[in-house]
Amino acid sequence: MKGKHLPCLLWLGSWLLVVVSVFMPFKAQAGNDTLHLFSAGEGGYHTYRIPAIVTTVKGTLLAFCEGRKDGPHDAGNIDIVLKRSTDGGRTWSKVMVIWSDSTNTCGNPCPVVDGVTGAIWLLMTHNLGSDKEGDLIRRTAQSSRTVWAAKSEDDGLGWSVPVNVTNSAKDTSWGWYATGPGIGIQVQYGPYKGRLIVPCDHGYADANGRLKGGYEYGAHVIYSDDHGVTWQKGGVIRPKVNECQVTELADGKGGLLMNMRSYFGHGCRTHAVSHDGGGNWSAPEDVSGLEDPVCQASIIRYTWPVKKHAGCLLFLNPASKNKRDNMTLKASTDEGRMWRQVQLLYAGPSAYSCMALLPHGEVVCLYEAGEREPYEVIVLQRIDKKTITRIVKNRG
Catalytic residue among 131, 368, 375, 376: 368
- CA 123, 125, 126, 130 torsion: positive or negative? negative
The conformation of residue 309, written as its DSSP 8-state character, comes to B
Query: Whose CA is closest to 160, among 228, 221, 102, 95?
Result: 228
Type of residue found at 58: K
Helices (H) and strands (E) in the chain, counts: 4, 24
How far apart, in whole angstroms, are the C-alpha atoms of residue 396 and residue 392?
A: 9
Instruction: Note whether 391 and 312 are within 8 A (CB).
Output: no
Which of 293, 367, 300, 370 has the alpha carbon at shortest distance from 330?
Answer: 300
What is the side-by-side order of every strand in the sheet holding 298-303?
34-39, 377-383, 363-369, 340-357, 325-332, 312-318, 298-303
Catalytic residue, candidates 177, 204, 352, 367: 352
Q: Give dist(CA 9, CA 24) in Å, integer.
A: 22
Q: What whole-number distance in Å separates Cα of residue 200 and Cα of residue 178?
A: 6
* List 74, 101, 155, 225, catalytic entry: 74
234 contacts 277 by C-beta, under 8 angstroms: yes
Q: Are 190 and 254 in contact (CB under 8 A)?
A: yes
Report residue 71: phi and psi, to 5°.
150, -170
Q: What is the DSSP string of 26-47?
A: S-PPTT--EEEEEETTGGG-SE
Active site residue 243: no
* DSSP strand pairing (105-113 vs 120-127): antiparallel
74 is catalytic: yes
Three-state secondary-structure class, residue 137: helix
C-alpha atoms less than 13 angstroms from C-alpha of 303 in its C-beta half-sphere: 20
Q: What are phi and psi of 205, to 5 degrees?
A: -70, 150
285 is catalytic: no
CB within 8 Å of 21: residues ≥ 6 apart: none
Catalytically active residues, by annotation? 74, 352, 368
